[in-house]
Structure 1
Amino acid sequence: MPSRSRALSRLAYFAVTCAVAATLAVASPARAQVTAFKQAVAEAAYRDDAIGAFYRKAGYAALWTGEGADHQARRAALIEALSGAAQHGLPEGRYRVNELMRQMASVRTTRDLGLVEVALSKAFLAYARDVQSGLLVPSQVDSEIVREVKRTSRETLLNGFATSAPRAFLNSLPPANPEYRQLMKEKLRLEQLIASGDWGPKVQAGVLKPGAQGPEVVALRNRLIAMGYMERSAAADYGTALEQGVRAFQKAHGLQEDGVAGQGTMEQINVSAEERLKSVIVALERERWMNIDRGERHILVNQTDFTAQIIDQGEVTFETRSVIGQNRTDQRSPEFSDVMDHMVINPSWYVPRSIMTKEYLPQLQNNPNAARHLIITDRAGRQVNREEVDFTQYSTRNFPFDMRQPPGASNALGKVKFMFPNKYNIYLHDTPAKSLFNREVRAFSHGCIRLADPFDFAYALLSRQSDDPRGLFHSVLNSGRETRVELEQPVPVHLIYRTALISSRGSVEFRRDVYGRDAKIWNALSQAGVVLTPVQG
């Protein structure tokens, strides 16, 4: 903990201990003290149901301001935690540490003590909520972040703290996963880097290729050395060492690993340490939103990384490239968690209404025989004779038909789809458009997640319920019939969005902010008081 935080903790501990002792020594009689304390607590907690309920159940006994080692330990642990909030990327000023210390130091009466008691509880609850499950409400920042954040009730937090070792309880609140700890380390590293001058000058060049020479090549070399992707070198040409450094950088940023510092690579190389720090702070907030049991086995789709993984006991056991929704309104892939319980082999594609009315209806109005690969049905499921329908009489509001593409090689969902039923109609699936997986930025779908290796993904899922998962899958596939296959052990699915992520090697890597969501989150955090604070090493 920084020395300032330690000093604040010691000062606050001393101030409130002396104030409590002095007040209890001079106030009398004892019954009057208790009554005044209870009245002050009840008054201060009047508009806070959780705090009021906690103190009523406790008979208005002090949690923070009583005598003895237990109360002293609680005060010291709380002030220490509040003073270190910035280490988590939280706004230290939100918890009013300095104001709390002044209020504690100015205690003169039992009533003052009661007011301090509730002030400490309020600060504790604000910090506990923020560090455990996030400062922001995701959907209020971006309507497409539909993640439901699990919040511990405020009364439960107070009861838990009251019956636990203070420091241990406070330390248990943030996410306990290795990713969160590694992000905190990276935050400190970047803060120290910014204080010492960033990675040096940006590279003033659009494209640099192996064989190039000149000051731009030297600038590229120096920046990659400062970033840690190259050993120190005096070479002034774009030789093997620089090419390998560019490849290492590209790998750590999800770029095409061709060793050429093209426009996309150069843009990422020139991103400042300050911008990377913002990504890390946003990732910390996102991790707090997901401070949950993700499942011993779970599926993780990181949209910015364009990958889908199966995680078993914390280890990646399967990974494939993915395509996510286009960066357009109503087509961006949302963020949420659900549970996959079945797959459909040889699926039909039931065209979403938005696609029917926005894309296919105009085609049908121009030519009733358009989109012949789709079967048009009425509400009763009967196939419609296109020649007998005047599509020009319908609009996006009154179009009365459904559209379906039957199973087949050209089906939009390919040969298999993986279902975790949700109100957003999002799922994972195969696709006949295989060439898209060779793109560096893979945002092309209408919102669902397309997989590059769906068959292997299916084998991995079925391996838990079959000795021959490949044989099981292909026996159904070869039938040509649309078939639902249940997963005997449903698997949690988490659609996430991390521009700062932890690699399998434990290092922090960065990705593009494809949808601009992290920029929105950073703006919201900044408005809430989060600041970038360079730290001297």
Structure 2
Amino acid sequence: MNKPGFFRFLFCAALLFFYSCNPQNTKTTAAEKIVHKQVAPGSFNLNSGIKFDSSHIQEFLDSMPLFKQFSKEFDTFYRANNYNYAWYDKTGLIETASALTSSLDEVAQEGVTAHIPYKDTLEELLRTTNLLKPDINTELMLTGEYFYYAKKIYAGMLDGQTDSINWYLPRKKLSYAALLTNNLSSGNIGEPRGDVTGPQYNGLKKALAHYRNIESKDDEIAIPSIKKSIKQKDSSSVVGAVKKRLFQLGYINRADTLGNVYDKNLAGIVRGLKDVYGLQQDSLLSNELITELNVPAKNRIEQIMVNMERLRWIPEDSTVTKEFILVNIPEYTLVYYENAKPVWRCGVVVGTPMNKTVIFSGDMKYVVFSPYWNVPQSIINKEVRPGMARNKNYLAAHNMEWNGGHVRQKPGPRNSLGLVKFLFPNSNNIYLHDTPSKSLFNETNRAFSHGCIRVSKPRDLAIRVLRQYPEWTPEKIDAAMQAGKENWVTLKQTIPVYIGYFTAYIDGNGEVNFRRDIYKNDDRLYSMLVQH
């Protein structure tokens, strides 16, 4: 097979299809003319030998002011390219141009609402110019569209605005010029995503298409509420409605929708769904689950979109080849990663909506056994001083003492930090710690703390964090936790800790999970997205 000729045929056919499907395209003769052109596949070469006058860039930006925000990127890219054409080689427009136009046409699939500027102008240029001959307007238009696409899809639509929504995790830093060079070299339009964020982003993208398909049918079933939970062998018309809704959402096959009996098979599905929605793990058909199943597809679409945006902010970090800890606030879960794979997890308690746990990152540097709790001044003012006014023995009753003008709680089993804490020094004064209030981990919604993160399995976490330290055996860790004397261990290699906020994510089975927006962050973020 003559591969270059075959690829030329595919490229021309793709362009013809793209424009013939455009309802605004009435110039069929221009499209037909494209078919007869021989467009070579080409490959990107910094020294292709097809130069243009650099003054054309400023002239183009003056005529297309929405691209002026990328003036530095234009200069960086073309200066490095010695002002050679990038979207053409000596045989014509390269195939990557078709990949870009397809990506622009499918931007909504990436969960953004961005309007593509000058898209009609680009389409007109591709219809009316000779694709075998370099055209400076087409060249620069493709570059401008690429930079715009990269900003919205790779960097995120709220580039530079995440602090305003209390997101303080490190932001991805991108060079659009370098991205363009890589994409032209590979012949693909896309940003390589990491081993952690990639499966998450792609899974949410698939879920987005799924829920958009549900919404498009405009026939969503609403399950009636129930007075009491339904158990196995019960019969109810609500069971029939649940089955129909589960089929509509894609959780069961149509053949399983018959009958109103709550059978063993449906009970197993319900148990699995409760995990998907973060509900109490049992097989009872409850109003809590019905509420989640009744959430309209439109709402799920918005929820997925804001979490895809959050994933776009996450940088590619070399730490994924080592180890790190991720706490997902709405999931109430801590996950330990090694070599980009989740190897261990446990439940956590996070801050209340009034005392939100901050979304940020730090490097764990210390493990502190039998810790003191240095009581924050806010708690001293709100709780300790009023308690002392009521009871002169308040400090002793709570195992507290004055320490240089401040109050601290002594080490021991009643200490509010439990028997161990894990410090990643930060200005937010947030850390991971044990707690004597173990019963809180039995709750489904665990937003109870003043902002710090309580860990359900602190001993296991300590063993994992210190596993590279032979002297810290499980027996020595147990002894240090029970010693009643504070003991600091400094880690030779710090461990990154990321505290994130994701209300939709993909679990280990590839299933999209949804969690309640406990800090009411999703609506605000979605409103900001649709304004861009």
TM-score band (shorter)?
0.7 to 0.9
Contact conserved, 1:345 with 1:484, CA < 8 A, in 2? yes
Alignment of 1:119-134 (within 5 A): 119-134=141-156
The aligned residue for residue 532 of structure 1 is: none
- Select the residue among 203, 221, 228 that pairs with 1:182: 203
Q: Deviation of residue 79 (structure 1)?
A: 1.5
CA deviation profile, 1:342-368 (whole Å, cap 9, x unmatched)? 211111111223333344344456666
Name the stretch that deviates more: 354-363 or 499-508.
354-363
Which whole-Å deviations, capped at 9, do the CAs of 1:430-463 have from their partners, x for residues lacking one? 0011111111100000111111111111112222
Distance in 2 between residues matched to 1:408 and 1:139, nearest whole Å: 44
Match of 1:195 in 2: 216
Change (3 A) 1:519 1:405: same
Name the residue aligned to 2:499.
495
Q: Shift in Å at residue 325 of structure 1?
A: 0.5
- Once the two structures are superposed, residues 262-320 of structure 1 have per-residue CA deviations (whole angstroms, 9 ceiling, x without a partner) of 33222112112222222222222121111422523221211111111112224332211
Give the deviation of 1:78 after TM superposition: 2.0
Task: Return the alpha-carbon distance in structure 2 between the equivalents of residues 151 and 347 of structure 1.
Answer: 38
CA contact (8 A) 2:78 2:84 kept: yes
Measure how far apart 1:409 and its partner are: 1.3
TM-score of the two chains, using structure 2 as the length reference: 0.80
In the alignment, is the contact (CA less than 8 A) between 1:340 and 1:419 conserved in 2?
Answer: yes
RCO (CA 8 Å, sep 6+): is it higher in 1 or 2?
A: 1
> Are 1:345 and 2:355 an aligned pair?
no
Whether 1:333 aligns to 2:339 is no
Report what 1:315 is aligned to. 341
Contact 1:129/1:151 (<8 A) preserved: no
Whichever residue aligns with residue 442 of structure 2, its letter is: N
SS at match of 2:509: coil
CA offset digits 1:356-411 (Å, max 9, x no partner): 3344344456666544436565xxx53xxxxxxxxxxxxxxxxxx42211211111
Task: Tell me what 2:424 maps to.
Answer: 420
2:99 counterpart of 1:55: no
Percent of paired sites with the same residue = 28
Q: What is the TM-score normalised by the length of structure 1?
A: 0.80
Q: Extract unaligned runs of 5+ from structure 1.
A: 22-30, 383-400, 529-537
Of 507, 514, 529, 1:510 maps to 514
Compared with structure 1, are the counterparts of its residues 188 and 433 closer, same or farther at alpha carbon in structure 2 (3 Å cutoff)? same
Following superposition, the deviation at residue 141 of structure 1 comes to 7.2
Equivalent positions of 1:55-454 (< 5 A) are 55-64=78-87, 66=88, 68-69=90-91, 71-91=93-113, 93-105=115-127, 113-137=135-159, 140=162, 142-161=164-183, 164-167=185-188, 170-174=189-193, 177-197=198-218, 200-205=221-226, 207-210=228-231, 212-230=234-252, 232-293=256-317, 294-296=319-321, 297-328=323-354, 331-364=355-388, 370-372=394-396, 373=398, 375=400, 377=402, 382=404, 401-454=405-458
SS in 2 for 1:295: helix
Q: Does the 8 Å contact 1:132/1:173 carry over to 2? A: no
In structure 2, the CA distance between the partners of 1:346 and 1:242, relative to structure 1 (3 Å rule), is same
Task: Provide the residue aligned with 1:8 in structure 2.
Answer: 18
Task: Give the counterpart letter for 1:513 in structure 2.
Answer: D
Q: Aligned partner of 2:320: which letter? A: G
Residues 120 and 354 (structure 1), Cα distance of their counterparts in 2 relative to 1, 3 Å cut: farther
Query: Do 1:283 and 1:498's aligned partners in 2 also have CA atoms closer than 8 Å?
Result: yes
Tell me how large the CA RMSD over aligned residues is.
Answer: 3.5
Cα deviations by residue, 1:236-265 (Å, 9 ceiling, x for unpaired): 233434433322221221110222233322
The one-letter amino acid paired with 2:329 is Q
Q: What amino acid is aligned across from residue 452 of structure 2 in structure 1? A: C
Relative to 1, partners in 2 of residues 1:150 and 1:315: Cα closer, same or farther, differing over 3 Å? closer
Q: What letter is aligned with 2:83?
A: Y
Q: Give me the whole-angstrom Cα distance separating, in 2, the residues matched to 1:360 and 1:179.
A: 44
Unaligned runs of 5+ in 2: 1-12, 38-49
Residues 9 and 76, structure 1, Cα contact 8 Å, conserved in 2: no
Taking a change above 3 Å as real, the CA distance of residues 345 and 101 of structure 1, as seen in their structure-2 partners, is: same
The 8 Å contact of residues 329 and 350 in structure 2, kept in 1 or not, is answered as yes
Match for residue 463 of structure 1 among 462, 467, 473: 467
CA distance in 2, matches of 1:423, 1:415: 23
Distance change (3 Å), C-alpha of 1:440 and 1:36? closer
CA contact (8 A) 1:347 1:416 kept: yes
Q: Tell me how far apart the structure 1 counterparts of residues 51 and 408 of structure 2 sit (CA, whole Å).
A: 78
The equivalent residue for 1:389 is none
Partner amino acid for 1:446? H
Q: CA–CA distance in 2 between the matches of 1:248 and 1:104?
A: 51
Structure 2: which amino acid aligns with 1:437?
F
Paired residue secondary structure (1:171): coil
Equivalent-residue separation in structure 1 for 2:496 and 2:51 (angstroms) = 57
| 8 Å CA contact retained: 2:54, 2:83 | no
The count of corresponding residues between Structure 1 and Structure 2 is 484
Paired letter, 1:8 = F
